[in-house]
Each structure stands twice: as C-alpha cells, then as structure tokens.
Structure 1
Amino acid sequence: MTSSADQPTFEMDRIKREIADSFDEELEMEIDESRLETMFRDLSDHPEHEQLDRRVYFRELFRLQHELVRLQDWVQHKGLKVLAIFEGRDSAGKGGAIKRITQRLNPRVCRVVALPAPNERERTQWYFQRYVPHLPAAGEIVLFDRSWYNRAGVERVMGFCTEDEVEEFFRSAPEFERMLVRSGIILLKYWFSITDDEQQFRFNVRIHDPLKQWKLSPMDVESRRRWEDYTRAKELMLERTHIPEAPWWVVEAVDKKRARLNCISHLLTQIPYEDAPKPSVVLPDRVRHSDYTRHPIPRDMYVPEVY
C-alpha cells in the first residue's frame, strides 16, 4: 500500500509510464529487432530496470507478432475460421491489444469489427442478427472490439434493455455460440480486467491529454459512477456464459504491456498451427516499350513540400 507521503511520487511515476507507453506505441511500427540494441543504447540515460522492461517488451512483442504472421498464413492455408471477442471495462486496454495483434497482419485476412450503437431497424431485429454478417469465412480472422455481450454489460447497466431481454440473452448466447463452434468457427473470448483505481487514473489521463480526449465518451464518464453496477453485471455474465465450447479467458490488464503479451501468447496456444507452404516469388523482367515516353506531371498537381 502506498503511503500518503509517497502518493505524489507514485502518481508521477504512473504518468511517466503512461507517456512512455504512448511513445512506444509510435516506435512499434518504426523499428524492428535489428534496431533494438541501438535504440536502447541511445536511451542509456533511462534507469536500468526501465531499459530491461522495455527491451523485454519489444523483443517479446516482435517475436509474438512473427508467430501471428505464421498463424495468419496457416489460417489461410487451411481455410480456418477464427473469431476472437474482446470485452472489458472502458479503458481496460482492449483496443491496445487488438492493435498489436493486427499491426503486422494482412487486413484482408485479419479484420476488426467495432459496431456502433444499433439503429432503429437493428433494434427490431433478432438480437444477434447484426453480428452475423461479420462472422469469419474460411481463411479469415475476425476480432470483435465489443460484441453481443453489450447486452449483458452496457445495455443492462445503462437501462437500454429490459431484464427480460437480458434473461433471454443469457439463454440464447450459449446456444448461439455452440452453433458457431459446431459450424467450424474457432471462438475465443477475452475479458480485460483492471482495478477501480487504474480506471480512474486512465480516465484522468484521457481528460488531460488532447490526443486522447476523443476516447472518453459521455457513456464512459457515466460508467465511472456505476463501477459496482458494472461489476455485478460482469460477474453474472461470466457465470452464465462461461461454457466448455467457448470459455471466458480473463486478462489481468493493469499493466498494459504485460496484458498485450499475455493475450497474444495465449491466443497463439489456442490454435495449433505450422509453417504454411509458400510458393517462391521471382520478379519478372520489366517490360519496356520503345514507343513510350514518360510525360512530365504539372508542378501544380504536386502536394506542397512544407517539410
């Protein structure tokens, strides 16, 4: 437990870690393993324990992303259908984990589904109907950033549905998921878990960071007040929908970096895969036409070189 005297230092350390995490997010797509050692030598003024943590994170992230590419190729080769659901409280880190999973994958193979609130027509449909068109076909990986479990969480807590509709959901969801699994879909369900204190901290960071304020909706703000209501709803949801065919997996997400690595590592263990055969690629000779002359493009068509 942190004493009141140490609280300012503790909070400042958390803010620094949050800033470093945002910085590292930008680095992730710009560097590769061969440049890691140089990068960390350049950051030699950082405390040794921080260097080690970040080095381990980057190395493991790249290693796991290599494995995700192998998995993607295997899914395509075997025509597998993979569906992963990501749920959790607002600011729990679902989006960050999804971003790291998709970062180096082919968007034609791996896609993210994040549906908005249902429109008037969709509210009159069978509850699961609007999710069905987004299910994976053969050779696809689909990641749901929130899913039909909205009914057991935000819709229930915020009063957007009746208790009878919630009870019907609890009866239907396990049967719906069993049908998906019987159809050949590999279904994975992840719940990202954070503490009350950590959510409070992350919300405050978003409030004061102009680049992150868009992440904080009025619904998110209201969720802070209803923390205990969401807790009760989550506990009942896990109890009623944790089935052998599609169990829930809880990701401890107070430490964002560990949560990402743990989630990706676990996902890779749930789908047996091997190296998919790949045809060799040989670039053909470029065709040249003696009667063709490249025409200059007018300068006023170019984007101004401000930088």
Structure 2
Amino acid sequence: MAEKAESRAVELDIRGKKRMYDIDDPKLPDWIEEKAFGSGDYPCDKKLDSKEYEKTLKLLQIELVKVQFWQQKTGTRIMSVFEGRDAAGKGGAIHATMAYMNPRSARTVALTKPTETERGQWYFQRYVSTFPTAGEFVLFDRSWYNRAGVEPVMGFCKPEEYEKFLKETPRFEKMITSEGIHLFKFWLNIGREMQLKRFHDRRHDPLKIWKLSPMDIAALNKWDDYTQKRDRMLKETHTDHAPWTVIRANDKRRARINLIRHILKTLDYEGKDTQAIGEIDDKIVGAGPGFVK
C-alpha cells in the first residue's frame, strides 16, 4: 500500500494573526482570495483593462524596437536587473520587454547556482562575463543581488560575505556606469497574500508548476526576514549612479507597462515618440527605500 504523502501545510503569521496554508489544497483559502490584490498597500482596486493593456504594450514594444536600432547604430550598451520576491513577476516583465526585440542583440541572463570553480572566484566574476558588448541589451532574471536576499536568509553565505557585498556593490556598479553602460535596477514588490496566491496558482497549473521550487516552500515562513534584507539592500545600494526603481507589481499589467516606460523615458534614442510612451504612474513606480512597506 502506497504511503500517504507528507502534508506541506504550514502555520503562517500574517500581521499577528495565525493562518493555515496548504499549498497542495486545490481550493485557495478565502482569506487569501479576498486580500491578495490589495495586499502590501496596493493602490488600485482592480487590474488594468486587458484591451487597454494590449494596446499600450504594443506602442511601448514598438519603441523598444527603435531602441535596438539606436543601439546598433551607436554601440550603446544596456543592462537591466530584475529583482523581487519569488512570484513577483520578474519573468513576465522580462518577456514583455523582449517579446519583439531582435534576439541577436537582446538576451536574458538567468544563472543557476555557482559551480565549484565559480565559488572560488571573485563573487561578481561570473556576472561580469555575461555583460553586454556594443549594441547589446541584457536583462538579468535575478543577479548579483542574490547575495543581498536569498543567500543570507537561507544561510547560503556567511555573515561577513553579506556585509562585504553591501559595501562593495556601490563601487562595483560605479565601475559599470563609468564604463558608459546604462544600468537599470528594478525591484518588483508584491504583498504577502498576492505571493501566496501566485504560489497556489503555480502549484495547480500544469503549465506553471515548474516555477514552484522547494526553495519557495522553504521560504514560506521567512517573509519578515526577506523584508528586512530587502529594506537594507535598498538603503545600502540605492545610489545616484545606480538607483533602484521600485515597481508595485500586484497587477502584472500595470507593472510591465510602467517598467518599460521608465526604461524608454530614461534613454535618449533616435525617433523617440513621447506621446506613445505616455506618463509613468507614480502610484506604481517609486525610487529606492521608503516607497514600499
């Protein structure tokens, strides 16, 4: 007789209230469903209309194609770092940005855990080898900032390595921007109930279940630890030369549109259509520490 699978139900402390969460239960708890969209003090009541989203996104993607032509003509190098909690929407934002860009000069970097050789190198070394050459647009699906979040929370680095990283990173990024590379750093922020809802969606969608990792399950009770590390990371590494742009991402549609708008508004490329780009929603986009809770 087959053994019964071990339950993965956990008790969570949600703002001082104990809640049970079983990711294997196909029914999403009402307390998550009711609070998810507005969690984390999200400022909107409902998702952006899908037709408006598609229409706006197309205009922005046309501008991104112009950016690539400009890059090829001028040799401009662009890097964009996408960070955020698990299920914050990093992959979807990257896909929306790259959807119609020429893959010969636009690529995504999503490194796995370091090899034995890489663990013996300078921490930043394996990232530097993926940096853009002339005319390239490189998007990082997670980055060197693993050492500011998941590594110290999950015990994958020593405390002294974590402290060293926070001190060295502003200098490291100064080297990048001094080289003339455009560096964007995005933190996609979501509320706790929204994260739980997205985890649940992944668990019960056969097309998305691969996105749910054992690390996600192990981190369920570490929300506050991640929050503390996020806040310190934003404080220590938000600089004039490499600022953090924070995107409230409970609504993926608004997040993607405003993220791309930020990129386009920052770059001075040939043929720029400011009317097509539109205006950034300052309720969704902010700079550095203090914009999120």
What do residues 62-116 of structure 1 show as CA deviations (whole Å, max 9, x unaligned)? 0000000011111111100101000000000010000011100001111000000
* Contact persistence 1:73–1:275 (CA under 8 A): no
What do residues 219-273 of structure 1 show as CA deviations (whole Å, max 9, x unaligned)? 1112222111000000000000001000000001000111011101111111111
Q: Which residue of 2 aligns with 1:37?
A: none
Deviation beyond 6 Å, 4+ runs, structure 1: 12-15
Q: Give the superposition deviation at 1:125.
A: 0.5
Q: Which residue of 2 aligns with 1:226?
A: 222
AA aligned to 1:98 is I
Q: Give the superposition deviation at 1:11.
A: 3.3
Q: Which runs of 5+ in 1 are unaligned?
A: 1-6, 16-48, 277-307
Return the match for 2:235 from 234, 239, 242: 239
Map 1:31-180 onto structure 2 (within 5 A).
53-180=49-176
CA 1:84–1:10 in 2, change beyond 3 Å: closer, same or farther? closer
Of structures 1 and 2, the one scoring higher in RCO (CA 8 A, sep 6+) is: 2
Secondary structure, aligned partner of 2:242 = coil
Q: Give the superposition deviation at 1:10.
A: 9.0
CA RMSD, Structure 1 to Structure 2 (Å): 2.1
CA 1:13–1:173 in 2, change beyond 3 Å: closer, same or farther? closer
Q: Give the superposition deviation at 1:211.
A: 1.2
Q: Which residue of 2 aligns with 1:210?
A: 206
What do residues 18-45 of structure 1 show as CA deviations (whole Å, max 9, x unaligned)? xxxxxxxxxxxxxxxxxxxxxxxxxxxx
Question: Aligned partners of 1:227 and 1:8: how far apart in 2?
Answer: 20
Question: Aligned partners of 2:31 and 2:123: how far apart in 1?
Answer: 48
Q: Which residue of 1 aligns with 2:186?
A: 190
Q: TM-score, normalised by structure 2?
A: 0.77
- The structure that has the greater radius of gyration is 1
Secondary structure, aligned partner of 2:137 = strand
Q: Give the superposition deviation at 1:275.
A: 3.1
Q: TM-score, normalised by structure 1?
A: 0.73
* Contact persistence 2:32–2:196 (CA under 8 A): no
- Aligned pair count? 236
* Contact persistence 2:166–2:237 (CA under 8 A): yes
CA 1:191–1:13 in 2, change beyond 3 Å: closer, same or farther? closer
Secondary structure, aligned partner of 2:220 = helix
What do residues 138-185 of structure 1 show as CA deviations (whole Å, max 9, x unaligned)? 101000000000001111100011110011101111000000111111
AA aligned to 1:88 is G
Question: Aligned partners of 1:237 and 1:266: how far apart in 2?
Answer: 21
Question: Aligned partners of 1:103 and 1:79: how far apart in 2?
Answer: 21
Q: Give the superposition deviation at 1:208.
A: 1.1
Structure having the higher helix fraction is 1
Q: Does 1:265 align with 2:261?
A: yes
Percentage identity across aligned positions? 51
* Contact persistence 2:36–2:192 (CA under 8 A): no
AA aligned to 2:238 is H
Q: Which runs of 5+ in 2 are unaligned?
A: 1-28, 38-45, 273-293
Question: Aligned partners of 2:30 and 2:234: how far apart in 1?
Answer: 37
Q: Which residue of 2 aligns with 1:11?
A: 33
